[in-house]
Structures are given as structure tokens and as C-alpha cells.
């Protein structure tokens, strides 16, 4: 995995920890799209997740747990952002990278 510069956590709902991207995601996604998605993720905008994952994220914010968001790039491709339960790391990846 390749490392990104960590986003500023000022005013965010949780820290991202170390932010990394899979090589595949780094080749596919634009930096500005990833930056916007990371900002949305830390503000509790989980993107295009199902109601069950949305509820799980809200519980994870309150009680601890993994956070999962789904976004789409400019060409409609899906990508995920996952923050670990201990908030030590956040990974940007494509679904096929999982």
C-alpha cells in the first residue's frame, strides 16, 4: 500500500490515523476526488452505503468500531474508505482490492 498525506482532523468527527491507498486505487482515482471523499467520511457523510452500514457507522462513532464509506469517482466507479476501529489507519481502496 502507498501512503497519502493525512487529512487535517480539525472539526472532524474522528481522526483518520495513517491514510493509505491501495496501488490500484492510486492508479484509478483522482487526488481531488479522494480528498473530497476523505473530508466527507470524517464529517459522517458515509456516501452510498446501505441503511445497515449507515447504522453501523453511527454506532461505531458512539461506541467504537470500524467506519465504512462508499463513494463514486467522476466516471461512476465505486471506491471505499475504511477507518479501523482504533482509528489508527484509514484505507482508500476499490472493491476488487478487498
**pLDDT tens, 44-89?**
999 999 999 999 999 999 999 999 999 999 999 999 999 999 999 9
Domain count of the chain? 1
Grid cell locating 19: 491514510
For residue 6, what pLDDT band results from cuts at 50, 70 and 90? very low
The three-state (H, E, C) secondary structure of 26-89, written as one string: HHHCCHHHHHHHHHHHHCCCCECCCHHHHHHHHHHHHHCCCEEEEEECCCCCEEEEEECCCCCE
Mean pLDDT of the chain: 91
Can you give the pLDDT at residue 10? 66
**pLDDT tens, 26-42?**
999 999 999 999 999 99
Amino acid at each position: 500500500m502507498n501512503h497519502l498525506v493525512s487529512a487535517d482532523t480539525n472539526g472532524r468527527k474522528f481522526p483518520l490515523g495513517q491514510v493509505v491507498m491501495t496501488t490500484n486505487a492510486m492508479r484509478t482515482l483522482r487526488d481531488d476526488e479522494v480528498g473530497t471523499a476523505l473530508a466527507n467520511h470524517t464529517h459522517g457523510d458515509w456516501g452510498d452505503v446501505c441503511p445497515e452500514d449507515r447504522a453501523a457507522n453511527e454506532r461505531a462513532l458512539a461506541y467504537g468500531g470500524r467506519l465504512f464509506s462508499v463513494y463514486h469517482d467522476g466516471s461512476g466507479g465505486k471506491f471505499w474508505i475504511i477507518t479501523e476501529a482504533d482509528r489508527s489507519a484509514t484505507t482508500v481502496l476499490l472493491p476488487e482490492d478487498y
